[in-house]
Amino acid sequence: MILTVTLNPSVDRALEVDVLIRGEVLRAGDSHIDPGGKGVNVSRALLANGVRSTAVVPAGGAEGEQLVDLLKGEGVDMVAVPITGRTRSNITLAEPDGTVTKINEAGPVLSMAEFAQVSDAVLSAARGCDWVVICGSLPPGPSVPAFAELCERLVAAGARLAVDSSGPALLAGVRAGAALVKPNREELAEAAGAELTTLGDVLDACARLRAAGAGTVLASLGADGAVLVEESGVLTGTSPVSVPRSTVGAGDALLAGFLAAGACGEAALIEGLAWGAAAVSLPGSRMPRPEDLDRTTIRIDHHPDPSRLLGRD
């Protein structure tokens, strides 16, 4: 069982347009409304591929009711924690060449009392789970120390913690001893405090996160694939997509596939890349099913021992 936690979930509306032109009246082609948020997407991807998962989400207002209804409609097992604020709505505009413009609301303010209720729900649901996966940005309200305390309590309770976030929240997960962190290129650069222009830069930044407390680092690099830095070695992989439709949720699908395949080594990286590439080929934030997966085009390369990465010329 994998427990996902999305502290700032959303209702996502995706519209396909021929070309995005500012100031013009545009007519949309296909449109989709999906439950959104990074942890929600991980649960949806796992469910689509027969892997048990439960999603913890704070939900409030009419949009919160819609989010719960959408998750129920997809058959996602969930723990919905009522809040007073309104769950956010996000809009995605996708063009035929794969260009995606995303407009995200900030989300509702969570009071410290509400965050405590969410934390209690997470700790209760985490009992007996194989992984607890906290994904996405912090909503307005909770402090980074409160988030760090949640991570520390989960690790202290024996949970295998995965964190997919950014900025101080990502670093809080690292310092708490998360077994896995999954930054994208921009989040990794922010955590490293340096521009990442080469593969060596990426590998060194991943090694620094491991040295700071993270067990394994899975870095998603968009069209350049992904990097896996773990105790047993360093792997890079690519998964080309012939007709990209939407990148929304691709990193979440990558994480879901990696976890579903054991979260360790080449086989797990291949599975993650296959799920991520399949998500890019689907509209909106649709999550891939087994029939969407193609592992034949994935390329994996092995690299030096991670302990030798830092301080290279």
pLDDT of residue 45: 97
The model's pLDDT over 73-90, given as tens digits with 9 standing for 90+, comes to 999 999 999 999 999 999
pTM given for the model: 0.92
pLDDT of residue 213: 97
Give yes or no: 252 in active site. yes
Output the DSSP codes for 62-131. Answer: HHHHHHHHHHHHHT-EEEEEE-SSPPEEEEEEE-TTS-EEEEE---PPPPHHHHHHHHHHHHHHTTT-SE
Token pair for 200: 């060596």
Q: How confident is the model at residue 156 (pLDDT cuts 50, 70, 90)?
A: very high
User: Over the range 10-43, which residues count as b (16 or more CB within 10 Å of their CB) and which as e?
Assistant: bbbbbbbbeeeeeeeeeeeeeebebbbbbbbbbb
Distance CA 173, CA 212 (A): 10
pLDDT of residue 311: 41
Please identify which of the residues 18, 252, 305, 313 carries the catalytic annotation: 252
pLDDT of residue 310: 43
Q: How confident is the model at residue 297 (pLDDT cuts 50, 70, 90)?
A: very high
Task: Say yes or no to pLDDT of 306 above 70.
Answer: no
pLDDT of residue 219: 98
Residue-averaged pLDDT of the chain: 94
Contact 31, 16 (CB under 8 A): yes
3-class secondary-structure state, position 219: strand
pLDDT of residue 312: 43
Q: How confident is the model at residue 305 (pLDDT cuts 50, 70, 90)?
A: low
Task: Say yes or no to pLDDT of 199 above 70.
Answer: yes
